[in-house]
Amino acid sequence: MASTVSVGDGLELSRLGLGCMGMSGTYGAADWDRSVATIHRALDLGVSLLDTAAVYGLGHNEVLVGRAVHDRREQATIATKFGIDRSMGHYQQAFRGQAGYVKASCDASLVRLGVDEIDILYCHRPPEDASIEETVGAMSELVATGKVRHLGVSEFDADQLRRACAVHPIAVMESEYSLWTRDPEALAPVMAELGVGLVAFSPLGRGFLTGTVDRSALSPSDFRAHNTRFVGEAGDANEAIVAGVRRFADDLGLRPAAVALAWVYAQSERLGIPIVTIPGTTRPERVDENLAASALTLPAEALAALAPLGDLVQGERYGVR
């Protein structure tokens, strides 16, 4: 069963969570029934943290998660996010945070999820149309009225995080963190000072670090088929990172995915902050594999040798060509 970790203001989370975004088409077509089966398998194993957002599939993902947990609500910790508005199209998105928008978005999420309370509500990105104080102030009112239990932010910088915490306690910050994406490390001292835990999304590099992604076979509807880390010369160069992970995995008798995930967990002590991961999958068997990886302890020499691989990465996280 999944172990747990305490973060923020007494919030207890499963150390391994489940990222649900890919169940709504980001990485190509997904199967509803198999996705629901994946969520059920996660809950069976004590993987209780389910991560979704209003923008995933334009609401589809929240509906899916809500349907999957409708008779198992007490087993699930539901985290959702507001703030990325793509009503004008994917490439004309806006990051919103006005108080009225925050409250309306929360109400819509509650309806789609079919729940009375959201366990963690995130501001998905720093708002462009409102101050941090206005946005987090509106979020705090949602806590006061019982619609939300805990607050989170996503991809904030140090100053933004401090300002948010000055308005209301922030339990967790969700940011991309993996062997090839180290950005949150610079914020770790501030997070430790403020008592904010890290929820690491894409800890397996959107699948790249597992060594199982056939880049030539990605469908046009798959975000990775156009992402600069996966395609062209940068994609070819990044294969060296996968080769490095695979080399250590072979030496240890493990899968590359297990090594990459175990590396992320191992950084918690070094950075001085609790780390939860939310690798995404649409396959029940992957939940079992990821859970096994979360219990691994890599030898110190492997951790030291893996660390420099992140310096080799080419391409932007969200770069598109």
- Catalytic residue positions? 56
**DSSP-assigned beta bridge partners for residue 94:** 85
Is residue 232 helix, strand or coil?
helix
Largest CA distance in the chain: 55
Pick from 148, 153, 192, 189: which is nearest to 170 by CA?
A: 153
* Short-list 158, 172, 56, 74, CA closest to 121: 172
Written as one letter, the residue type at 39 is I
Grouping H, G, I as helix, E, B as strand and the rest as coil, residue 315 is coil
Decide if 172 contacts 7 (C-beta within 8 A). yes
Q: Which helix (H) or strand (E) holds 159?
A: helix 158-167
Q: Which two tokens stand for residue 172?
A: 């967790």
**Gyration radius (Cα) of the chain, Å:** 19
Written in H, E and C, the secondary structure of 1-24 is CCCEEEECCCEEEECECEECHHHH
